Structure 1
Amino acid sequence: MIDRVTTTRVIYLGGLGRSGTTLLERLLGELPGVVALGEVVHLWERGVLAQELCGCGVPFPACAFWRQVGERAFGGWASVTAHRVLMLRHRVDRTRRIVRIAHRDLAEYAQAYRLVYAATGAAVVIDSSKHASLAWCLVASGMDVHVVHVVRDPRAVAYSWGKAVARPEDGRPMTRWGPARTALHWTAQNAALELLARRGARVTTVRYEDLLAAPERTLAALVGELGLAAAVPGLPFVDGRTAWLGPSHTVSGNPMRFHVGRVELRRDDAWATGLRDGDRRVVDALTWPLRHRYGYTEAAG
């Protein structure tokens, strides 16, 4: 284990899955000095234990980047460490425990993440774990964290969670949720991140729809808010509605984490015609009033 933890800035992408966090992470990861890590909350189970693919396309144990991180942080990845962190996560990192996040095991749990971040050697890392509870843990432990709260229309999110999508890692279907469950999780995660901001944490909200409507303008504003504007003159990897993405070393996340090369930055509004009327009414009822707070009225967008 490394003896001294250097100060590493953490950009934490929070929100409910299928809200565009992977795309935003990949874009921010193109900035000089910024390293995108993927969903670090799943590193222990899916990376260390299950040995799934890194975003670079090779199994986690064979990835030189993650092998070096493990050696610096813990003297090498070991199942005993992963199981310990997972046990601590069950004790500490739960949405229902946010109001009492000062758990006796919080310091040890947060330290595992602190060591991973520092071991990358990067000045700034992006953790797209999404979970509001982990954001609370990192902030409560005193880390230098700036939370980017990513929001998407809950009806679009519900439609996405209902689709059958194969995991590139093993071909198995990704988790599917019904509209009611998705709506309840959407409300819970966004409300928790709103509360975190009210408690004084640095939280910047970005709407998926705004990012895709005006990619350069929205991304430039966010880069400025995060204090990263001085790192790069403009955004050379974005040209209008087109972006170019290099390889990444992300653990877990949307299949887009494997994409390298050109990507078109266009909204997916298939939900507007694909979401059944009954499902839409359920989502509308369970996500009000936050849905209106974020500007999502009855019409798409």
Structure 2
Amino acid sequence: MIRVLYVTGWCRSGTTLIGNLLAELDGVEHVGELRYLWTNGVLGTGTNRLCGCGDKIEDCGLWSAVLTRVAGGDPDRRREYAERAVRRQDASLRTRHTRARLSAARARSLALPPAVTDMVRLYEAIAEESGASVIVDSGKFPAEAAALCGAPGVDVRVLHVVRDPRATAESWRTVKEYIPAMAPLRSTGYWVGFNLASELIGRAFPGRYLRVRYEDFARDPRAALARIMRLADLPGDPPVDGEGNAVLHVNHTVTGNPDRLRRGPLRVRRDDRWLATQPPRDRAVATGVALPLLPVYRYPLVPRRKGA
């Protein structure tokens, strides 16, 4: 049975870095935001066509083999498969579908949406071509995580990563290479929706679920990764030392933060630059929209720099 660590939550929360660190472990393949393989890798309608290895997705050795295994080698047939896969995703795996997918998962319904069958087939192909025993999918769509909880042939664990909504709103304020900007009202609305939907999974399947705050991960990445590894039944030591130092090698991520292309030595540290750069109005908007969830995730009403 394929083991999948599905990462959910909202974007700009450190999930790409967490996934790439886990990929340093033997037998682990971080595939990034796998949902976008079809739009980015086949249809060319997404925001970026590069694999984390630096090649175009269709030219990458891993993804070329996976796509051939799943969708065939003929370009027209592959495009037809990709278009169908995207339609199926939109029909049953949007965030608003999370409750329905959880109900089916709890009932162990045999009538899986075709999009879920597509996901399992894709994971099987990745495992076959990469040799990985654990696949990390940082797709962040709660409905996908919920659906996988009831899918046969997949042993899914759900990692819910949360970051201060003011920090994510400030990150979204500026363009980051191929990722466009987003206003704080919209980005924080998504923050609330994605995190509330992710909480539903934790209530339905507490034994498969772990919530980690970005701030706790950045403060002590070794301890946070150890918790995540226990969730995913990954043996060995976390791939980062007590000072937060690590080395990243080549990965094969689809989409995700542009930093996924980074390799070599790095030091994990908390990024609090947003406290100095965020306009007061933007911070007020993000605070107001996220207000009911701030105490749930232990975020102060008025954020301050450490030691301030």
TM-score by length of 1: 0.89
Output the CA distance in 2 between the equivalents of 1:55 and 1:62.
Answer: 12
Output the CA distance in 2 between the equivalents of 1:251 and 1:258.
Answer: 11
Output the CA distance in 2 between the equivalents of 1:59 and 1:95.
Answer: 28
Output the CA distance in 2 between the equivalents of 1:89 and 1:226.
Answer: 25
Q: Which runs of 5+ in 2 are unaligned?
A: none
Is 1:181 paired with 2:186?
Answer: yes
- Please give the per-residue CA displacement for 1:32-71, whole angstroms capped at 9, x wherever unaligned: 1111111001111011221811111111111111122223
Match of 1:4 in 2: none
Task: Supply the AA of the counterpart residue of 2:188.
Answer: A
Task: Supply the AA of the counterpart residue of 2:213.
Answer: R
Is 1:241 paired with 2:244?
Answer: yes
Contact map agreement 1:34 1:125 (CA 8 A) in 2: yes
Give the direction of change, closer, same or farther, for the CA distance of 1:239–1:73 in structure 2 (3 Å limit).
farther
Match of 2:295 in 1: 292
Output the CA distance in 2 between the equivalents of 1:114 and 1:128.
Answer: 15
Match of 1:158 in 2: 169
Query: For 1:97-176, what aligned pairs fall within 5 Å after superposition?
Result: 97-101=97-101, 102=104, 106-121=112-127, 122-142=132-152, 143-167=154-178, 174-176=179-181
Alignment partner of 1:120: what SS? helix
Give the direction of change, closer, same or farther, for the CA distance of 1:256–1:82 in structure 2 (3 Å limit).
same
Match of 2:257 in 1: 254
Contact map agreement 1:107 1:141 (CA 8 A) in 2: no
Deviation at 1:83, TM superposition (A): 0.3
Contact map agreement 2:25 2:239 (CA 8 A) in 1: no
How many equivalent residue pairs? 286
Is 1:26 paired with 2:2?
Answer: no
Deviation at 1:74, TM superposition (A): 3.5
Output the CA distance in 2 between the equivalents of 1:136 and 1:222.
Answer: 18
Deviation at 1:239, TM superposition (A): 5.4
Output the CA distance in 1 between the equivalents of 2:96 and 2:126.
Answer: 31
Which deviates more from structure 2 when the two are superposed, residues 156-165 or residues 138-147?
138-147
Match of 1:81 in 2: 81
Deviation at 1:217, TM superposition (A): 1.7
Contact map agreement 2:173 2:181 (CA 8 A) in 1: yes
Deviation at 1:106, TM superposition (A): 4.2
Output the CA distance in 1 between the equivalents of 2:126 and 2:282.
Answer: 43
Which deviates more from structure 2 when the two are superposed, residues 287-296 or residues 186-195?
287-296
Task: Supply the AA of the counterpart residue of 2:218.
Answer: L
Deviation at 1:104, TM superposition (A): 10
Aligned partner (choices 220, 228, 232) of residue 226 of structure 1: 232
Task: Supply the AA of the counterpart residue of 2:69.
Answer: R
Output the CA distance in 2 between the equivalents of 1:105 and 1:57.
Answer: 39
Contact map agreement 2:53 2:251 (CA 8 A) in 1: yes
Contact map agreement 2:161 2:213 (CA 8 A) in 1: yes
Aligned partner (choices 174, 177, 192) of residue 197 of structure 2: 192
Task: Supply the AA of the counterpart residue of 1:162.
Answer: R
Give the direction of change, closer, same or farther, for the CA distance of 1:88–1:106 in structure 2 (3 Å limit).
farther
Alignment partner of 1:293: what SS? coil
Alignment partner of 2:294: what SS? helix
Give the direction of change, closer, same or farther, for the CA distance of 1:209–1:219 in structure 2 (3 Å limit).
same
Output the CA distance in 1 between the equivalents of 2:216 and 2:144.
Answer: 26
Contact map agreement 1:237 1:245 (CA 8 A) in 2: no
Deviation at 1:199, TM superposition (A): 1.4
Alignment partner of 1:45: what SS? helix
CA RMSD of aligned residues (A): 2.0
Alignment partner of 1:80: what SS? helix
Output the CA distance in 1 between the equivalents of 2:195 and 2:286.
Answer: 14
Which deviates more from structure 2 when the two are superposed, residues 186-195 or residues 280-289?
280-289
Is 1:10 paired with 2:4?
Answer: yes
Alignment partner of 1:292: what SS? coil
Contact map agreement 1:238 1:244 (CA 8 A) in 2: no
